[in-house]
Amino acid sequence: MKPLRQSSAGEHPGGGSSPALGAARAGRAGRPSSGTELGERLRAGDLSAAPAVLNLVENRTDAAREEVVLLQKAVAAAALGGEAPGHVVGVTGPPGAGKSSLLSELVRTWRAGARSVAVLAVDPSSRRTRGSLLGDRARIAFDPTDPGTFIRSTAAGGRLGGLAPATRAAAHALAAAVDVVLIETVGVGQAEVEVADVVDSVAVVVQPGSGDALQFLKAGIMEVPDVLVVTKADLGDIAMRARRDLAAALRSLGERDTRVVAVSSVSPVRGMDDLVAALEVHRDTLDLPAMRRDKRRASALAAFAAEHGERGLRVLGGPRAAARLLVAEPAGADVPALVNVLEHHAHAR
Ligand SMILES: Nc1nc2c(ncn2[C@@H]2O[C@H](COP(=O)(O)OP(=O)(O)OP(=O)(O)O)[C@@H](O)[C@H]2O)c(=O)[nH]1
Ligand SMILES: [Mg+2]
């Protein structure tokens, strides 16, 4: 087996000392990397373009913004109604639930089946000091020489809820290059809602005995996830009970289609194939292009409302009228472009 090492923030695994890293550095220093070229490399499955892509989407200059639009055009030239075909999956759950350990095993499982994987672990900066509560935080283990894997931790830039605005752009560009893009975020409730806006499928991860997810589900605080994962199944009865209780709660909510999977990320590893299958079943129910288009429009409305408040929405004739303004826009328009459309209309009134 190839050696594994641990990921850490700011590393560019998959890029190594390739030309992509040079391009990424150039992008930071001044002129951003060419979006068209990066998009074409991603479409060819070249993950060495990934570090430069992340730098580009995180660059806030106007020049970079133009290149991001070109990147998205190049990516959209792929099949599937203008959407990158990779499955974008959000993995969210409370601190210490076992997300990173699970992702290490999931990556291994997908790679064993010759599926390529990109992981974006979003690290809310506010949690840095809290760190792992017991100092036992696991990092995602991966093989740095594997060209079919790209893993990076990114800081969330202090935003509560934990999802950096660039995460959507990065995930959807990487979905042109790989079979699966995973986004790890911490939290249940608001964080899970935020990640749901960006991904195709949401897996909520809970550890046995915490009861959080059960209470949140019953109280309607947590939206029903696409897949529920009980970790640490090696703990035995307590994990099986958690699984049964969650399944019962879902049934009482009339959500019979949501699968509850129990996994163990420590030896003997178990449940990974079940989880992969559950995610694939969910993926197959989706009209991906329509869903992603609708989520981008909803996110643009939410961003506009966050920026301009109730008053801003009233200028546009209310939320429904504002939503109608976006229907005429191209299906592939990205969130910043859609926010611009709303702001343009608001100024014109
Ligand atoms: N017994 C057991 N322990 C596990 C399992 N998975 C993870 N752990 C342990 O639980 C702790 C937290 O695991 P992480 O994978 O860091 O959890 P996380 O959800 O990514 O944590 P944060 O990123 O800090 O929110 C570590 O000590 C792991 O070794 C498991 O399947 N069984
Ligand atoms: Mg983690």
- pLDDT tens per residue, range 280-313: 999 999 999 999 999 999 999 988 998 999 999 9
Kindly tell me if the per-residue pLDDT of 182 is higher than 90. Answer: yes
pLDDT at 319: 93
Q: For residues 253 and 109, state if they share a domain.
A: yes
Please state whether the predicted TM-score (pTM) of the whole model is above 0.85: yes
pLDDT at 79: 65
Domain assignment of residue 42, yes or no: yes
Q: For residues 144 and 199, state if they share a domain.
A: yes
Task: Provide the pairing of β-strand 227-230 with 201-206.
Answer: parallel
Shortest-distance atom of ligand 1 to CA 137? 16
Domain assignment of residue 14, yes or no: no
| More confident: 172 or 22 | 172
Task: State what percent of residues in the chain have pLDDT above 90.
Answer: 62
Q: Atom 6 (ligand 1): residue with closest C-alpha?
A: 98
Q: For residues 34 and 107, state if they share a domain.
A: no
- pLDDT tens per residue, range 219-247: 887 888 999 999 999 999 999 999 999 99
Cα–Cα distance measured from residue 239 to residue 242, given in angstroms and rounded to the nearest whole number: 5
Band the pLDDT of 264: cuts 50, 70, 90. Answer: very high
Domain assignment of residue 12, yes or no: no
| More confident: 253 or 16 | 253
Residue in 8, 137, 195, 272 to alter for ligand 1 test, most ligand atoms within 8 A of Cβ: 137
Q: Atom 21 (ligand 1): residue with closest C-alpha?
A: 96
Domain assignment of residue 141, yes or no: yes
Domain assignment of residue 58, yes or no: yes
Q: Which residues share a beta bridge with 262?
A: 230
Which tokens in the block code for residue 312? 């801003």
Kindly tell me if the per-residue pLDDT of 93 is higher than 70. Answer: yes
pLDDT at 139: 83
Domain assignment of residue 222, yes or no: yes
Domain assignment of residue 13, yes or no: no
Q: How many residues does the chain have?
A: 349
Q: For residues 330 and 183, state if they share a domain.
A: no
Domain that holds residue 64: 19-76
Q: For residues 165 and 101, state if they share a domain.
A: yes
> For residues 345 and 316, is the Cβ–Cβ distance under 8 A?
yes
Q: For residues 66 and 100, state if they share a domain.
A: no
- 3-state SS assignment for residue 114: coil
- pLDDT tens per residue, range 117-147: 999 988 765 444 444 444 567 888 889 899 9
- Characterise 157 by phi-psi region: left (phi > 0), alpha (psi -120 to 50), beta (else): left
For the ranges 36-50, 209-223, 254-268, the lowest mean pLDDT is seen at 209-223
Kindly tell me if the per-residue pLDDT of 12 is higher than 50. Answer: no
Q: For residues 236 and 170, state if they share a domain.
A: yes
What are the backbone angles phi and psi of residue 129, rounded to the nearest 5°?
-75, -40
pLDDT at 105: 97
